[in-house]
Chains A and B, each alone.
Chain A
Amino acid sequence: MKKTACILLSLSVLSVCFLLTACSKDNADNNPTTGMTRISEGYAAGAATKVEIYSKQSLVNTGYNKFYIALYDSVSGNRVEEAHIHLTPVMDMGMMQHNAPFENPVSETASGHLFPCSVTFVMPSGSGNWTLEIEVHNHVTGKEGTLVLPITVTDPVIPRQQSFTASHNGAKYFISLIEPSSPRVGINDLELAIYKKESMDNWPADSSLTITMIPEMPSMGHSSPNNVNPVHTGNGHYRGKVNFTMTGLWRLNLDFMSGTSVADTTQSFDVQF
């Protein structure tokens, strides 16, 4: 009698365990935002759509931030996978306002239930407040609406964005380091995004520069072999390869040229792992 109870109990425990693991596994498979942080959320009034912003980083940092927007029908709670989204980042500094570079979702159809996009916050919150205006045209319901979310932007411990005033044309350029995001010993992808500040509300992607990148270990003074200089691949993104021969603190020294004239030779990014 006691034995049977025991067996029954353990069987039920086992099956519950099994179900639990099965469920959580299912969830993991279905949930595209596993491992991401929800940065903010709100309702786009008029579009009857709930908007959630996710990031692979836990904080919004100065520089390039890749966001993933999830949309839900605010009545049914179902995912909205057909929509047109337009972003407008705004920095309100009291005396003045300015915008920032951004990339709207490329497609009006969600990819993996999400709409990838990006905002490059050119400065941290503090001397002003960042908001992100999101216009949503819900293609399922045909309704349109706008939502404004406050965003807190912090400077990371190691900067991921630099800016310089180019010596060849006097324009101001903002450089963000996108990759390597998780550096390791070996060959790493190198990706930079470059935006030019035309005016307070116009921050176009730049494709005009050529970049020379030399990695260096400042404490030892050595470099690494077989790096590939980043070249423009579209929308202001420059891609190359950077090789790290050991862990530690590396400095990626960057020289920017515009044709044959020097734009800037003073910038660098530190990468530490």
Chain B
Amino acid sequence: MKADPMGVATGSHYLDGDHACAEGAIAGGCRFMAGYPITPSTEVAERIAERFPKIGGMFIQMEDELASMAAVSGAVWAGAKSMTVTSGPGFSLMMENIGLAVMMEVPCVVVNVQRGGPSTGLPTLTAQADMMQARWGSHGDYEIIALSPNSPQECFDLTITAFNLSEKWRVPVLFMMDECVGHMTEKVIIPNADEIEVTPRKYYKGKKESYRPYRFNGSNSVAPMVKAGDGYFIHITGLTHDERGYPVINAEAQEKNVKHLVNKILKNEEKIRIIEEDQVDGADVVVISYGISSRVAMNAVEAARKKGLKVGTLRLVTVWPFPESRIRELAKSVKAFVVPEINMGQISLEVERCAQGNAKTILVPHAGGWVHDPTDILNAIEESIV
């Protein structure tokens, strides 16, 4: 399906990542947003608040992030494409109802413009330290999709992708921006509506009596949805449930329910995967990065290549699910992975796990507040080969 032209601000713009994300959401079909202000994400909500009344959208500023995330799920069951936006402290509050959305299989997008933590941390300065929280920050066992854009243009493009993935896999998609990308201003091209591919929600069309909200066509797929108000009389719960959506409190139901939540993502990892590779064939070192760090890393990679080192790059656009099979494969041909990230070591541990001892993994940590000095990454690249 193509985007609704009413919302698409076609043209060449000069936008920061936050505003570009808001435009991406609108182009992606989002018409409900509930949020609570927090730096450095507020500009997304502000732009939505300004734009929605003119395109038939509903924006509501809730009393907190617990409420925002709960309202998003409610609006999705009413039939709206929905989103919320926050940063670290709010992301923590959202975890409870992100879990509910995971359990109810609610397609929605949660934007986290990351800032330094823990706690109030560095409200105005960047970090990439919520990546593990994105993966498993809510209690219980599940898998999620998370994207990491590295430019305002990607904040636009990938927010649409985030909505599309959420509809396809009936899962909250976490859009993991960072303060740098959110506040950096660059050229953003917004195409015509008929050039934007939007995944519509898959609705059930059979007999009313036969509808089961969690009956899947084949394993690792998701069920079509219905809307409240359509006469299906659905029951949807955060409790472990059967295909009717009815609570079942025993180990067998849990096994089915949890395995489904995990497998629909993990078994489809290659279909969900978006990664960018450059010069990995024959490389001695591959720099694995995401978000703003991938742009800083390029500086170091170019310097290393000038010195004659064989350096490849792999950028995680989807960070979760992790491209495990690809890293495993690469580990057999490279000597080392260098992983710069603005945290004390989160994704690097995943890389190390997947490398299975076949290649070294070298973390280039940064506690947050600013991006890496490219020299630190260059040094790590050089050290990794000796």
Co-assembled chains A and B: no
Taking Cβ atoms with an 8 Å cutoff, the residues of A that contact B are none
